[in-house]
Structure 1
Amino acid sequence: MTAAVAVETFGDYNQRRLRQNTEANQKSRLYFKVGRLNAPKIIFNGNSFNVNKKKVNSSFWRCDSYWRSKCTCTVITRGGQMYISGDHNHEPNALREDFSQLKSQFVNVIYRNKRVW
């Protein structure tokens, strides 16, 4: 007997991921910090990100552990939106921060997969 195998086309995959991303959107707190050499940093879910590139309306952030562990998680911030791509390959690196002294704001978090976008 042969088992029937369901084949998912790339278009079906995109639609499913977009539906999951829409359901996963949520408001979360984003913390701001000044790092070494007065470089801006953000902290989200216990992970810190360094600014990688800035444009007029958006900032591109790279995980703080990019060089140590080749973490590929990236963040794009635009106004009150935050787009997260990739996953961390390490434990959270900013859990010992004193968050009471940091500036923060609520942002709409959108998880996205690099393969889709």
Structure 2
Amino acid sequence: MATDRLSIIFAALADPTRRAILARLAEGDATVTDLAEPFPISLPAVSRHLKVLEHAGLIGRGRSAQWRTSHLRGEALREAAGWMETYREFWDARLGLLDDHLRRLIEAPPTKGSTS
């Protein structure tokens, strides 16, 4: 079982249902019933997904009268995005080098003996 924070966050994000729940919560707070509506799964199954998201720090849960609502928390997403940013910079640099190389190939004059 993953114990470091990033592993827990990415494990929670690995499931498409949980990602869809996060997308819905980006629009505003919602109850379990609201969140379950678009899915062909039971309310207990949605509750289990919410527990995983809460454990990862991706959502918070609160109670207002008889309603228990969930809300998106951005800190864990920011942490995951920060980790990925390092690799985005790496690939941007690599793709920039490839772009430069291809541009030089295209702009280079034909060599002697070429058929073009």
* Structure with bigger gyration radius: 2
TM range (shorter): under 0.3
* TM-score (norm: length of structure 2): 0.22
When normalised by structure 1's length, the TM-score is 0.22
Q: Which structure carries more relative contact order (alpha carbon 8 Å, separation 6+)?
A: 1
Return the structure number with greater strand share: 1
More helix by share: 2
